[in-house]
Amino acid sequence: MVVKKSVRDAMIDAAATLIGQRGVSASGMQDIVVEAAAPRGSIYHHFPGGKDELVIAALTRVGEVVESAIAYAAAKSASADSFVVAVAALFRAGAEQNGWSEGCPVAATAIEGDRQSPAVREAIVAIFRAWQGAIARGLSRHDRADPDFEALMLIGAIEGGLLLARGLRSAEPYDAAIALLRRGLGDAASAVTGMEAVNASQ
């Protein structure tokens, strides 16, 4: 049985899509209504706080979906490396599906910086920190030395890789960024193991 989206949900999903494609500033409320196939009068009925309220709702939904997927990947991964691969694949799948023409809505909004309201910027911080925390918890399952730092590195590699991949319309820069990160994490693990061996011998 197919469950039809509510008008509000359709607008939130449409906003997330357009923000990923164009950014917030270039995604007008009427554009979102058209994308969602929603009645014109529905904007302020469902989002009395206006565009900021809709943007925050869209980013929050993206953030929660990704955070949940990260937690699932953590539970299923047998190693830190396989977890990193799984998380990277989450972001890669969506971008590849649309031909690398659409980026992460959260990063697209962050790039606009002070053009966004304090409330929107605070939502971005909360989402990135939630992702960092979820990734760090996943890495902690595999006894990483500094999971918070490594989680931040992974987010940076993912978002930077997506930006370059979108510019070049190619998976190559994304895959290269993730490969370099995996190499670095492997070297870090080797260094920690080596230090543990030295300490054990003393």
Per residue in 175-195, pLDDT (tens digit) is 999 999 999 888 665 444 333
Give the pLDDT confidence score for residue 189 in this predicted structure. Answer: 55
> Residue 165's CB: how many other CB atoms inside 10 A?
23
Domain 59-201 is classified in which CATH homologous superfamily? Tetracycline Repressor, domain 2 (1.10.357.10)
How far from 120 is each of 4, 29, 58, 163, CA to CA, in Å?
A: 29, 16, 11, 21
Inter-residue contact 124 to 110 (CB < 8 Å): yes
Answer whether residue 197 shows pLDDT above 70.
no
Answer whether residue 24 shows pLDDT above 60.
yes
Full-model pTM:
0.88
Domain residue spans of the chain: 59-201
Answer whether residue 56 shows pLDDT above 90.
yes
Answer whether residue 92 shows pLDDT above 70.
yes
Distance CA 195, CA 56 (A): 45
